[in-house]
């Protein structure tokens, strides 16, 4: 059976759509704020598992690679004074699921009522009764249910009881630090983001453009205020306002002060050429 096109919905919509169909979920659970490398690894594992099962599947059922996520962030409800500033919006999160190849996202409204649901009731209601899970993929520190009483061991017990597989996906470690939303927020909060020039991908009005982006204070012109400037390849429109999203792929160089505008212009042309060269193999593949 072919895989479903990407979509997102709440519990009631899911049941209306799939209640009478032989549809099951391979899912992961979390807030997925920022969609960092750890998140990407879990989503990739879900997709690989679904593909392997589809190859061997002899039953007339469909598996959906699914992300179960929450809105708003649980801390916003449980500890509003301590709620972290988010790295991405819900629409950005959903778009990231789609870009990662997920078939669906089930968005649960996190409120005081959901916060009081026990770990067992959460697993029964959402994983079993709603999603009819075949596989659940989580990190080693995964917690769920009222007061985070549920852990991996308890989830594995529920898996044996209700016939779904549980896989723990190891974390991604860079420079001795586990990649996490908390670590990313900490880096942002402490200003550990170097100015410089990057090969980037810029989205304008839903269309993506390869680009070269400078982040800094324009020291050649004795600038003081931080500015972000992107040169979009193959873009000829004239826009004066609106939303633009920039994704950073590769750091090209530090920002530096040049002796004058001509020297700066020559360097910008080299930056654009280097960004083109970086993206060329990706375009071919």
Q: Residue 3: its pLDDT value, please?
A: 44
Distance CA(61)–CA(134), nearest Å, equals 11
**Strands 7-9 and 104-109, bridge-based pairing:** parallel
Q: Specify whether the CB–CB gap between 63 and 116 falls below 8 A.
A: no
Mean pLDDT of the chain: 89
Q: Which two tokens stand for residue 124?
A: 């029964």
Instruction: Kindly report, residue by residue over 119-178, the tens digit of the pLDDT.
Output: 999 999 999 999 999 999 999 999 999 999 999 999 999 999 999 999 999 999 988 888
Distance CA(124)–CA(87), nearest Å, equals 31
Q: Residue 127: its pLDDT value, please?
A: 98
Prediction pTM value: 0.74
Instruction: Kindly report, residue by residue over 25-56, the tens digit of the pLDDT.
Output: 999 999 999 999 999 999 999 999 999 987 66
pLDDT above 90: percentage of residues in the chain: 59
pLDDT above 70: percentage of residues in the chain: 91
Residues in the chain: 285
């Amino acid at each position: 059976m072919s895989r479903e096109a990407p979509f997102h919905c709440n519990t009631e919509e899911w049941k209306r759509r799939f209640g009478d169909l032989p549809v099951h979920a391979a899912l992961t659970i979390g807030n997925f704020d920022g969609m960092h490398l750890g998140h990407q690894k879990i989503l990739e594992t879900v997709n690989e598992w679904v593909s392997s099962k589809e190859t061997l599947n002899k039953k007339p059922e469909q598996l959906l690679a699914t992300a179960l996520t929450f809105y708003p962030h649980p801390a916003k409800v449980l500890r509003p004074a301590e709620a972290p500033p988010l790295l991405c919006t819900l629409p950005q999160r959903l778009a990231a699921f789609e870009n990662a190849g997920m078939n669906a996202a089930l968005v649960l409204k996190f409120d005081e009522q959901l916060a009081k649901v026990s770990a067992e009731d959460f697993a029964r209601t959402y994983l079993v009764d709603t999603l009819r899970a075949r596989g659940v993929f989580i990190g080693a520190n995964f917690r769920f249910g009222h007061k985070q009483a549920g852990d991996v061991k308890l989830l594995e017990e529920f898996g044996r009881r209700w016939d779904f597989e549980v896989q723990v996906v190891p974390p991604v470690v860079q420079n001795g630090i586990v990649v996490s939303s908390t670590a990313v927020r900490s880096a942002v909060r402490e200003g550990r983001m170097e100015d410089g020039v990057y090969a980037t991908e810029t989205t304008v009005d839903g269309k993506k453009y390869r680009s070269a982006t400078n982040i800094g204070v324009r020291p050649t012109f004795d600038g003081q205020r931080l500015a972000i400037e992107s040169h979009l390849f193959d873009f000829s429109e004239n826009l004066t306002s609106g939303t633009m999203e920039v994704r950073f792929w590769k750091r090209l160089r530090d920002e530096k002060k040049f002796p004058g505008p001509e020297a700066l212009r020559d360097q910008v042309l080299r930056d654009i050429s280097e960004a083109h060269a970086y993206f060329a193999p990706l375009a071919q593949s």
